[in-house]
């Protein structure tokens, strides 16, 4: 059984790494450090470990913050209006590359500039949502890593049925203002139809919509599929708390949502995607064009189960699921 590795241990490992970092002398032009604009779509508290993984990898490939590179951090707290504001600020600052994640923030940054390179550390289907022309040849000034989250909808539902074999009614919570929310909603509905599961779509656009959405759920669903994106990520503890109060098991695409009290998740390993995005930034800072850098796809996927939440809900998690899990929270 995989043991739970908390944020504290993760960050301590980063801080204690003893590595001799190489210097990249040519990166400094006329005394000006190259600037990375880091648009965090949520908050440092929620996604600080992702940022740490990104910075750690930058150091490994020779970019040391405040020595030969500068990083401007801005956090949008899952608020759509902040994405455009921060993007405009980065354009005014004339940063050399903008790093962000989530479809809605990438769309906002792309609208703000067609010149500054943009790297998305993780996004839903970037072709279907119009972020890039194709995975092999992105075109324009945008590239990064696809998280394939919508493609995994069917797999997640199959895993949920291991815990709830008689699943017949499923609610789906999504942000209607985010293109990936709309796309994944369709994928979940299609997968549910195949399994003979009735779905109840719940769409929100702001944090204030969350509590009313749960009011609509009373007695109408056996479980809740939560579509990961910045607004929902910023409110994931609240969502899981409301779900527990409504006796609803939750299914997620990222293990961080399970660490915040959700029942189960299956999806790409986010710290790994952030590390790999640093490699793309490195290529761009060394002269590569985003249009020529293929969009990469995840290679590591995590299955996480929260046994504490399962016990609270009176659910039994099969041993074979626990054995297969990458992370079990007890």
Higher pLDDT, 29 or 48: 48
pLDDT at 262 over 60: yes
Q: E-strand spans in 2-139?
A: 35-40, 70-75, 97-100, 118-123
Instruction: Report the relative pairing of strands 301-306 and 327-329 from DSSP bridges.
Output: parallel
Contact 231, 207 (CB under 8 A): yes
User: CA 157 → CA 69, 169, 230, distances in Å?
Assistant: 43, 12, 22
pLDDT score recorded for residue 31: 61
Summarised one tens digit per residue, pLDDT across range 268-311 is: 999 999 999 999 999 999 999 999 999 999 999 999 999 999 99
Query: How far apart are alpha carbons 215 and 200 in whole angstroms?
Result: 13
C-alpha dihedral (73, 77, 83, 85), degrees to nearest 10: -70
Query: Is 302 in a helix, a strand, or coil?
Result: strand
Please name which of 83, 143, 141 lies closest in space to residue 116, comparing C-alpha atoms.
141
Please identify which residue in the block is written with the tokens 């779905």: 199
| Structural domains for the chain | 7-147+270-300 (3.40.50.2300), 150-267+302-329 (3.40.50.2300)
pLDDT at 73 over 70: yes
Please identify which residue in the block is written with the tokens 């986010």: 270
pLDDT at 228 over 60: yes
User: CA 231 → CA 43, 80, 102, 170, 287, distances in Å?
Assistant: 11, 8, 10, 21, 34
pLDDT at 81 over 80: yes
pLDDT bucket at 9, cuts 50 / 70 / 90: very low
Higher pLDDT, 3 or 130: 130
Query: How far apart are alpha carbons 172 and 150 in whole angstroms?
Result: 13
Reading the block at residue 56, the tokens are 């750690």
> Which pTM does this prediction carry?
0.85
């Amino acid at each position: 059984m995989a043991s739970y590795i908390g944020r504290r241990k993760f960050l301590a490992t980063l801080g204690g790494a003893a590595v001799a970092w190489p210097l990249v002398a040519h990166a400094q032009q006329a005394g000006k450090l190259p600037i990375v604009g880091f648009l965090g779509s949520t908050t440092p508290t929620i996604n600080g470990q992702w940022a740490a993984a990104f910075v750690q990898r930058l150091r490994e490939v020779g970019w040391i913050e405040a020595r030969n590179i500068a990083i401007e951090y801005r956090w949008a707290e899952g608020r759509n209006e902040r994405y455009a504001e921060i993007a405009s600020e980065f354009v005014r600052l004339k940063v050399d590359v903008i790093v962000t994640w989530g479809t809605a923030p990438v769309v906002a940054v792309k609208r703000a500039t067609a010149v500054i390179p943009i790297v998305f550390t993780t996004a839903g289907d970037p072709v279907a949502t119009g972020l890039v022309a194709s995975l092999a040849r992105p075109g324009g000034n945008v590239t990064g890593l696809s998280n394939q989250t919508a493609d995994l909808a069917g797999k997640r539902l199959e895993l949920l049925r291991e815990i709830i074999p008689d699943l017949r009614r499923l609610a789906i919570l999504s942000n209607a203002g985010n293109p990936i929310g709309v796309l994944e909603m369709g994928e979940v509905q299609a997968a549910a139809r195949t399994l003979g599961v009735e779905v109840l779509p719940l769409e929100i656009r702001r944090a204030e919509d969350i509590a009313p959405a749960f009011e609509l759920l009373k007695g109408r669903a056996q479980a809740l599929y939560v579509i990961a994106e910045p607004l929902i990520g910023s409110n994931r503890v609240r969502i899981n708390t409301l779900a527990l109060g409504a006796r609803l098991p939750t299914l997620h695409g990222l293990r961080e949502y399970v660490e915040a009290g959700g029942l189960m998740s299956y999806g790409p390993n986010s710290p790994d995607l952030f590390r790999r995005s640093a490699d793309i930034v490195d290529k761009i800072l060394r002269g590569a064009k985003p249009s020529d850098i293929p969009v990469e796809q995840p290679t590591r996927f995590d299955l996480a189960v929260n046994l504490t939440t399962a016990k609270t809900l009176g659910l039994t998690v099969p041993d074979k699921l626990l054995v297969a899990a990458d992370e079990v929270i007890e």
